[in-house]
Amino acid sequence: MTQLAAFFETVKLPSMSEVAHALIQTLNDDSAGIPEIRDLIAKDPALSAKLLRLANSAQFGLPRGVSSLDDAITMVGMSKVRTLALGACLSESFPTIPGLDRKEFWRTSMACAGYAQWLATGLGMDGQQAWLTGMMLRLGELLIVQAEPDVLQEIEKLPHIPGVRWQREARLTGFTEGQITSELARRWNFPPQMVQALAQSAEPVTTHGFSRLAGVVHLAGLMAETDHNGPDVIDTLPTDVISALMLDIDWLHAKFPKEETFVNITAL
């Protein structure tokens, strides 16, 4: 038994809803259309209500109110509605951890998701897949704390310096949150590209190859952990990852998004 397999013997895996499992299967299904996605989400009335509330929030600034899932998908976009639904399902799958600021945890997760989508879209990659991968990155921390509650205080020790939490997790448990989430994603049958990216998220540039999605999520995670969210953060990011992704520094500065445009935890 590998060390990672042994770790998973010590935790209770969160249960993924039937709706979430079905939505995951559509990620690699190019033939999945609006009616299929709508019908899946409609099976969960509480989830449907959350998505409608989010679609009517100021984040999207729609010209008229949205009153049905059909309207939400038409005006917000099927891919966005699908990933937002998965994000809501993920947050409900994990219990509240005593001592962990739940709102801040999911705010950071959504910030990581938003930055990942921005970077991926700019690189011509699948923005929605990047959004979901970024949204999932910190889930491994919840399992680490479930297995070893006493490490939470050390992992979350202030100040929250970008990237240091990954180092603390590896030192205390032998794994980073990304590696734990990767195995969880594999067991939940997420796409292989996401599984690989999560596994390499803390160190995307290795001698074993480079995952572009891992690089995107790595940078997004660092930006999400930064106290300020202005374009100056670009100058603090690892140059080897930026170079490997062939990102243009001038573009990053010019197009840097405001975090509040994609952070909305009302659906979570």
Query: In order along the chain (268 residues), what is the average pLDDT of each group of 10 residues?
Result: 85 85 78 86 88 76 79 81 82 84 88 94 92 93 92 88 93 95 90 94 86 97 86 94 96 91 64
Instruction: Say what the pLDDT of residue 217 is.
Output: 98
Question: Around Cβ 223, how many Cβ atoms within 10 Å?
Answer: 24
Instruction: Say what the pLDDT of residue 116 is.
Output: 96
Tokens of 61: 């600034």
Nearest alpha-carbon partner for 199 in 210, 234, 188: 210
Question: What values do phi and psi take at 199, rounded to 5?
Answer: -60, -35
Tokens of 187: 């067991």
Instruction: Say what the pLDDT of residue 266 is.
Output: 59
Q: What is this structure's pTM?
A: 0.86
**Which CATH class for the 3-261 domain?**
mainly alpha
Tokens of 146: 């479930």
Instruction: Confirm if 54 and 75 have CB atoms less than 8 A apart.
Output: no
Long-range contacts of 18-24, Cβ-Cβ distance < 8 Å, separation of 24 or more: 18/43, 19/43, 19/44, 19/47, 19/85, 19/89, 20/85, 20/86, 20/89, 20/90, 20/93, 21/188, 21/189, 23/82, 23/85, 23/86, 23/89, 24/86, 24/188, 24/189, 24/190
Instruction: Say what the pLDDT of residue 258 is.
Output: 87
Question: What values do phi and psi take at 226, rounded to 5?
Answer: -80, 135
How far is 113 from 136, CA to CA, in rounded Å?
Answer: 8
Q: What is the DSSP letter of 57?
A: S
